[in-house]
Each structure stands twice: as C-alpha cells, then as structure tokens.
Amino acid sequence: MSNNKCANLFLILLISSISAAFSQKQLLPGELVTSDGTLLQGEINYEARKETPTSFEFRHQNGTVTTYTAENAQSLTIYLDDDVKEVFTSFNLEIDFGSMDLKKLDTKAEPTLTNKTVFVRNLVNGTIELYGLIDASDKSHYFVSKGASPPKELTYRKYYYSTNPDGTVSSITTSTGVAQVKTNEGYKNELYNLMKDNSTFVAKDFEKLEFKQKALINIVDKYNNGSTYVAATETMKFRPEISAVAAIVNTKDGTFNKDIPSSFSPSLGIGLYAKIPRTSWALQNNLRFTSINAEASNRTAANADNYEITTYQFSYIKLHTMFRYIHPLNSGTEIYFQGGMLNGFLVKEKVLTQRHFYTSDTETLADQSDKKMERGIVVGAGLGKKNIYLGLDYEISNGFRFSVFNPIFTTLYFTGTYRF
C-alpha cells in the first residue's frame, strides 16, 4: 500500500469517527431520585466539567429521555468509572452570587444573599456534610450542614475597603493608585463553631485554613472520623497498558528517491495512561518495538542484465507521547482521538546493496549511522469499553541519517490494548 493510500485511508476513518462521536450523547450509567421520591435507573448525559450543571438529561431504561432540574429531582448519582462516582443533591439555598472580579467588587463586607433552588455536588457526607457549587461566573461556593439543619453557605467574600462617610471608594487608594481590597473569611469561624464540640479542634486550627475544596474536604472528613461518602480526590491516575501491535511501514529512500515495498511488522507494546481530572483529556505514552525488512530493485526489462537490489533491515524502539481527547458514547463505550510526537531509538540496522553489471557482481554494506535517534508526529483514533481498546495510529517520521540512505518512514499501526 502506498504512502498516499495509507494517509487517505486514515483521514477518511478519522473524519468518519469524529462525525459519529459528536453525533452521540455522552451517556453514563446513573440513578436519579425524583421530587416525589421515586428511584430511577438509567443513563445520564454528562461530561465532567468545572461548572456545576443546572439540569441533566436522563435516559430511562425504556429509551425515553427526560430533562431534570433541581426543581423536579432530589438527587442523582453518576458512575464515571468502576470506583469513581459523582453525586448531586438539590436544595433551596441562600447564595451569595457577588462577583470575585476585582473590577466588579462592591463595598459590602457581608454577603448579599439570593434564594435559589440548585444542584450542589456532594463533597462529604457524615455528621457534618459539605457541598460544592461552581456558578456560571466560575465562582466557587461551599455549603455545610450538621444534623437536621439545612446547608448554609460558608462566607468568603472580597470587597472594597472604604472609610469614606458616603461609602465611596474613589479616594481610597494605595500608593499605586489601586483601590484597597479586603477579604471576609467568615468561613473559618463558621467551621470552628460547628466543630468545637470535638476537643481535638481548636481555634488556631482554622487560622490558616484555605478556602479550597481539598482543604475543606480534609477538615470536614477529619471531624466526621468515618464519613459515609467523600468525593473522589481529583488527581491523575496512572494505569499501565499492554498492546498487540501490527505495523505497516512504508519507507522512502531519500537519497535516491526510491520507494521501498511496505513491510509488515507484528510486535508488542507497553503504555502508561493518565486521565486529567474533570476534563475529557488524557496523557498517553506508548513504547513500541518495530522492525523493517524490505527489498527494492531497479531491474528493468530493457536492461535485465544490469540491476541493483537493496535490502533494508531495521529494528527500533519508539516512544509515542500524545494528548488524547475522550468522548463517551452509550453503555460505557468511549471513542478517542489523539495526537503528539514520537522519539525513536535505532537498535539494529543493515542496508545491503547487491549490484549485477553483466558478469560482475558486487555487494556494498552501508556504513553504520552515527544518528541513532529520530523524531516525528503521530495521530490516531480508536474506541473501547472498560479495559479493552482498539486503535489506529498514523505516523510520519524523519528517519535515520545514513551515508547512502536517508529514509522517510510513514507507519500505520493497528493496536489492540488491555488497560489494567
């Protein structure tokens, strides 16, 4: 198969796969409790993202789809992976939507509250419960409740500081001419008051407590000493992989502009996969062994007694480092698209040219290359479910620099991968 045919085939498959992927809903298994307490099981259209969703499309087991908001659903659970889930609960809350943008701050130290029914993400469940909300302006809100009390927002607010009698800030500036900003960190005292019935917590434990999700989860979970649920820590998980690889390698002799027949190379590969939390992206590293064994001839009918046959033999190890975009499909299946760079290391080489000129035969062995590394680019696509994936990668590399042979490699990889 020629280089152009391989490239065209790959592009057709890639474009078709992208079109198919984005015409699909991103459905994940889950369950939902309606406002009247009915438990439903099905699939939820959901992509982990920073902003807290305001509604969810729920696909029932009979195939019908219903959109649920915080007004007609009590809670829902989305199963992202075998051991990872996200839980959302609806509450009618008093929320401070005041801006944290320094250009839009007001002069009020105390929150201005708005009553609204919203979904919040469960962060910790137990004696004290912690919930999180990221609103449309990218502001983080955290709510706590203890016992039967409803969730209350923890106070964290930036405001312009003014001592002017009329409350203006125009004349309150620093030496650089910028209005002074203060922060109301009421959340520290609010949490202390909730936890001071536990003698292991003292006021100074909260003095340096950051208004960040991880810090708040840790201190609430520590107080509960046995929380019934803690949201999964959003860290990258590295998972090893093993692959069966079939490579079709096309080589072009850059010195003599000679096309070399395709070479088929089966092999094994190992990899390391890491999903980036709360995104559709992952890092993918693959280490593959590939070899080439091909022969090219310039024999012609017009001059059958004078010909040249060159045998090309290479073995090399290549590392593919790629970014992968993941698009979930129905029933736990996902499709991915990836691209990145490769670094190859030459393990073994042999370029032997046999020449026949009438009654004379000669053999020439190319000098060993002093350049053992190569670089290139690789793109690919594939699909999988749970731990098993099928993929197709297309690679273009600059080849190794020989004294008489400057090859350019294009490689098509068919892969079957098992992820541990």
**Among 402, 403, 376, residue whose Cα is nearest residue 250:** 376
Overall residue count recorded for the chain in this entry: 420
- Rg (C-alpha) for the chain, rounded Å, is 31
Residue 389, pLDDT score: 95
Report the C-alpha gap between 133 and 143 in whole angstroms: 8
Residue 83, pLDDT score: 67
**Among 362, 376, 364, 360, residue whose Cα is nearest residue 408:** 376
At residue 105, φ and ψ (nearest 5 deg) are -70, 155
Report the C-alpha gap between 94 and 143 in whole angstroms: 10
Here the tokens at position 161 are 């500081």
Give whole-number Cα distances, 88 to 78, 106, 411, in Å. 9, 31, 46
Here the tokens at position 22 are 């984005």
**Among 418, 364, 410, residue whose Cα is nearest residue 391:** 418
**Is the pLDDT score of 148 beyond 50?**
yes
Neighbouring residues of 113: CB distance < 8 A, sequence distance ≥ 6: 94, 95, 96, 153
- Residue type, position 250, single letter: N
- Please name every residue paired with 56 in a beta bridge, in sequence order, or none if there are none: 68
Report the C-alpha gap between 54 and 164 in whole angstroms: 40
pLDDT band (50, 70, 90) for residue 399: low
Report the C-alpha gap between 119 and 95 in whole angstroms: 12
What are the pLDDT digits (tens) for 325-382? 988 776 668 899 999 998 888 887 777 777 777 667 777 776 666 667 778 899 999 9
**Winning range, highest mean pLDDT, from 4-8, 15-19, 256-260, 400-404:** 256-260
**Is the pLDDT score of 22 beyond 60?**
no
User: What is the sign, positive or negative, of the torsion defined by CA atoms of 376, 382, 384, 389?
Assistant: negative
* Mean pLDDT of the region 44-68: 84
Report the C-alpha gap between 350 and 382 in whole angstroms: 34
Q: Do the beta carbons of residue 257 and residue 309 sit within 8 Å?
A: no
Residue 146, pLDDT score: 94
Q: Do the beta carbons of residue 134 and residue 140 sit within 8 Å?
A: yes
Residue 185, pLDDT score: 95
DSSP 293-349: EEEEE---GGGTTEEEEEEEEEEEEEEEEEEEEEEE-GGGEEEEEEEEEEEEEEEEE
Neighbouring residues of 50: CB distance < 8 A, sequence distance ≥ 6: 134, 138, 278
What are the pLDDT digits (tens) for 151-204? 999 999 998 876 555 555 554 454 444 557 889 999 999 999 999 999 888 888
Residue 361, pLDDT score: 75
Q: Domains, the chain, ranges and CATH?
A: 3-18+235-419 (2.40.160.20), 84-230 (no CATH)
Neighbouring residues of 184: CB distance < 8 A, sequence distance ≥ 6: 109, 110, 111, 155, 156, 157, 158, 159
